Chains A and B, each alone.
Chain A
Amino acid sequence: MHVSLAGITKRYGAILANDDVDLDLVPGEVVALLGENGAGKSTLMKILFGFQQADAGEIRIDGRPVVIDSPRAAAALGIGMVFQQFSLVPALTVRENLALGHRCTPWWIGRGARSFAAPVAHLRDIAPEIEPDLPVSRLAVGEMQLVELAKVLNLDAGVVILDEPTSVLTPAESERLWEQVRRIAAGGAAVVLITHKLEDVFACAQRVAVMRRGRMVATLDTSSVTPDALVRLIVGAETVTTAQPVERTADALPRAWIKNLSATTAAGAIAGVDLRIAAGEILGIAGVSGNGQQTLADAVAGLAILLAGEVIVDGETLQAPRAEMPAQSAVAYLPEQPLRNAVAPDLSVAVNLMLKRIRDLPWRSHPSQFDADARERITAFDIRPTDPRATAASLSGGNLQKLVAARELAGAPALIVACYPTMGLDLGAAAAVYEALFAHARRGAAVLWISEDLDDLLRYAHRIAVLHRGRIAGIADTAQATRRQLGAWMVGHSIDVAAEPAHA
C-alpha cells in the first residue's frame, strides 16, 4: 500500500502546524520522522490517522485520493497507530485487550475470551513470552508497547505509525522493538517512526524525513547521512549546546540520606532502599520502568506514606506525608507524567509556575498578579505558548516538562528528585533542562535523577544505582560502570552485589 501525503497544510489559530508537507510511504520501508517539539510531526500523523483534518492538501492511497475523517476510517483503510499514551484497559487481560478491537471477536466475548486464539497470533510472533491471560496492569511498559503493536498488527495494517515508541524503553527493549519494526516492514507494511532519538533512526529506518517549524526540510536515505548532519537539519541554524557535566567534589559530606526506605503505592513498592547523596552529587537511578522508580521518587518527595525508613536532608528528617512539612520545602520534585502528577491542567501557566508558593501568598490574591513573574520564567525555559494565561492543558508534553522544571528548579532546594526530566524534549530543550538541573548540583544540591536513558546517565551522573523489583540491585561509580554490568543488574542478575552496603 503506497500512501502519499501531498501539500498537507494545517493551521491552528496563528500557528501553521503543517505547511505544504509532502511525504511518501512505501511498502516495506521504515521512515523515521524527526523534528523538535512542535515541528509538526504529530500533527501530520494525526491527519493521516484521521484525528485532524488538513486545511489543504490530499492523501492518496495507491494513487487514489481518500478522505480520512476519523480514526475508524483510517483503520478501515489499513492505517494503524501506536500512541505514546497507551490505550489498553489495565483491568483486562492481554488477550481481552487484543480481542476488544479484533474483527473476529463476536459481541458476546465475556469471560469466554480465554478461548480466542486469533487475536493473540501476532503477539505470539513478536513477544512469545508475554502471557496472554495476565492482566495488562501487571505488564512492564515495554511489554505494553508490544501489546499495542500487536493490536495494530491485528488490523492487518498496511501503514503502521509509531509515536515515539522507544521513549520509555530500556536499551534491550528498544533493540527488540527495532527488530520488530524491521520485521513488520519486511512483511510489506510501510512504517512511520516518530522519534527524537537518533539511535532509533540508524537502527531501523531506511529513510529519514526531517520536519522543522511545520515544513518538511529534508527527506534522505539513512545510509547517506551522518548523525551530525541530522542534528543540524533538525535544529536548523541554531547551534546545539550539550549540557556540561558537573565536576565531582571530593569528600563532600552526604547532604541527603535516603535511609532504609520502604513504601508501597499503587505504582509499586520499594523495600530497604538506602542511598546517600553528597552535596553536589548527581546520583542516577537506572532500571526498567515499573521497578519502583515512581514509588521511590514519591516517597523521597513526601507523597507516599512510608512503611519504614526516613529521608534526611541537611540533618533534618522530612516526614511523609508532605502536607505536614513546612511551607519552604527543601525538596524539589520533577515527577514523571507532569500532566498527571505536577500541574493543574485547567489553570494558567502563570498559576502553575507558582504552585509551590500559594501557601505563602497574602489572603487577597488574584492569579493575574503572577503574570510578570511568569513571563520571566517562560522566557528562561522557552515555554511555548508564551502566554502566561494559557491553560497548562494546552501545552504539549515537552512544554509541560519545561514548565515543571521552571517551577521546581527555581529557588535553592537542597535535594532535587527528577524523574525522566527530559522525556519528550528535543535536544536543545533537554540540554537546557539538564543545565538548569546541574546548575543546582554545582551550587551544592543533592540530585536524585531517575532515568532510563543510559547514555545520559553515563555521561552526567556521578554514580548510578539500579533499581530492580523495588530494591537497589547494584550501585557503581560512573567511571567504573559498564553497560553490561548495569544491564545485568536491571534484570536482577548478580543481585548479591546489593548485599554489600554501597555508600558514598
Chain B
Amino acid sequence: MRDLMLSGPGRVVGTTLAVLMLTGAFFLAIGRDPVELMGLIVRSAAGDGYAITESLVRATPILLCALATALPARLGLITVGAEGQLYFGALLGTGFVLANLGATSAAPYMAMIVVAMLAGAAWALLPAVLRSHLGVNETISTLLVNYVAALLVTWVVYGPWKSAANLGWPATADFPEAFKPSTFFDSRVHSGLWIAIGLAVLLHWTFVRTRWGLTLDVLRSNPRAGIAAGLNWRRNVLLTMALGGMLAGLAGILETASIQGRLQANLSAGAGLSGFLVAWLARNHCLRIIPMSLLVGALLASGDGLQMFANVPSSIALVVQGLLFVAVLLVGGYANRLQVRRG
C-alpha cells in the first residue's frame, strides 16, 4: 500500500479519486446531479472540434506561465509572478505595435515578440534582484508586483491608449493583421501552442541532460554547498527568473495579439495563477506540465458551456480547479505522512 501511494501512478489514481469525490460532493451541495454536471464539463471541454480548440486556446498561456513558474522553481524559488510578467509583456508588446501600426512585413512582428519577452524578463528581474541581493522573499514580492502590472494595463486602456474607435470600451486600437500569429484552420488555436510545447520539451531536456540543469539541482538542494563548490547562486536567481519572465511575457503578447486582437484589461483570465497551479501539480516537471495545462485549460474552457447549458455560473470551473488543488494537497500530504511514519 505504501509503495503504491508513493509511486507516481498511485498518486495520480489517488488524486483522481479525491478530485471526483470532492467535486461530486460540491455539486451535491449546490443541489445538482454530479454525474450530469461532470458529463457536461467533459462535453464542454472536449465534446466537439470547437470545444477542443477552445480548450487548447485556453491552455496555451497556462502552459507558458507554468513553465515560467517551473524555471525559478528548479532553483527552489517559489514565484507567483507569471501573471504580472504576462501583463507587462502584453503592455510593452502592445506599445511597440501601436508605434508601428502601419507595418506589413514580418520583421516588426518578431520585434513585437522580442519586446514582450524582454518586458516580461524585466518585470521578473525586479523581484529577482531584490531576492538575490537583498534577500527579499520572492513569493511575496512577485505577488505584489503582479497588481502593479495589471493596474498599469488597466490604466493605459482606460487612459492614454484608449482607442476612440471602440465606442467607449476600454481597449487599445485593434492590432493590424501583420501582428497576428498564424492560426490553424478555422480555429483560434495559434502557433503559440506549438512554441510552448516545444519549449517545454527543450526545458525538460535542459534540466535533466545539461550542466546547467545539474547546477540548478545542486543550488536548489543546498545553496551553501553549491556556492562552496564555486556555483553562482545569484546569477542563477537572475537567470531563471528572467527566462521565466520571458515565457510569461510571450504568453501575454500572444494572448493579446492572437485571441483578443487588442490590449484590454483582465487579458490574462487568471492564466498566470493557473500556470502556478499547473507547475505545482506537475511538481515542476516540464513534460508533466504539458498534459496538466491541457487539463486545466480544458476545465476552465468548460466554464462557458456550463453557464450556457446547465444554468450554473461559469466560475464553477474555477471552483473545480481549486478542488483539484485541494485533492493534490490531500493525497500528497497523506503520502508524505506514510513515508515519514514508515521511515
Contact surface of A with B, Cβ cutoff 8 Å: 12, 52, 301, 303, 321-323, 325, 327, 329, 333, 335, 340-347, 351, 355-356, 358-359, 361-367
Contacts and interface: CB of A to CB of B under 8 A. Distances in A.
Given A356-B229, A358-B211, A365-B210, 11 more contacts: A303-B227, A321-B227, A323-B227, A323-B231, A325-B230, A340-B224, A341-B225, A358-B229, A359-B211, A361-B211, A363-B212
**Centre residue among A323, A327, A329 by max chain B CB count within 10 A:** A323
Nearest to B343: A52
B209 interface: yes
B208 interface: yes
Contacts of A335: 228
Contacts of B210: 363-365
B336 interface: no
Interface in B201-232: 208-212, 214-215, 217-218, 221-222, 224-232
B221 A344 contact: yes
B214 A351 contact: yes
A342 B223 CA distance: 9
A347 B217 contact: yes
Contact of B228 (A12, A52, A327, A341): A341
Interface residues of B, number: 23
B230 A327 contact: yes
Given A52-B343, A343-B222, A356 B230 contact: yes
A359 B214 contact: no
Given A343-B222, A345-B222, A358 B227 contact: no
Contacts, number: 79
27 contacts: A12-B343, A301-B228, A303-B227, A322-B228, A323-B230, A323-B231, A323-B232, A327-B230, A340-B222, A341-B225, A342-B224, A344-B218, A344-B221, A344-B222, A344-B226, A347-B217, A347-B218, A347-B221, A351-B214, A358-B211, A358-B229, A359-B229, A359-B230, A363-B211, A364-B209, A364-B211, A365-B214
Contact of B231 (A343, A346, A358, A367): A358
Contacts of A367: 214
Contacts of A325: 230
A216 B343 CA distance: 23
Contacts of B232: 323
Contacts of B230: 322-323, 325, 327, 329, 356, 358-359
Contacts of B208: 366
A344 to B, nearest CB: 3
Contact of A365 (B209, B231, B234, B343): B209
Contacts of B229: 355-356, 358-359
A412 B226 CA distance: 20
A345 B221 contact: yes
Contacts of A344: 217-218, 221-222, 225-226
A365 B230 CA distance: 18
Nearest to B217: A347
Contacts of A52: 343
A265 B120 CA distance: 36
A358 B221 CA distance: 15
Given A344-B222, A345-B221, A322 B214 contact: no
**Centre residue among B208, B218, B226, B228 by max chain A CB count within 10 A:** B228
Contacts of A12: 343
Contacts of B343: 12, 52
A223 B304 CA distance: 85
Interface in B169-194: none
Contacts of B227: 303, 321-323
Contacts of A301: 228
A301 B225 CA distance: 12
B225 A343 contact: yes
A482 to B, nearest CB: 36
Nearest to A360: B211
A335 B225 CA distance: 10
Contacts of A321: 227
Contact of A361 (B214, B222, B224, B226): B214
Contacts of B218: 344, 347, 351, 355, 358
B256 to A, nearest CB: 35
A333 B214 CA distance: 21
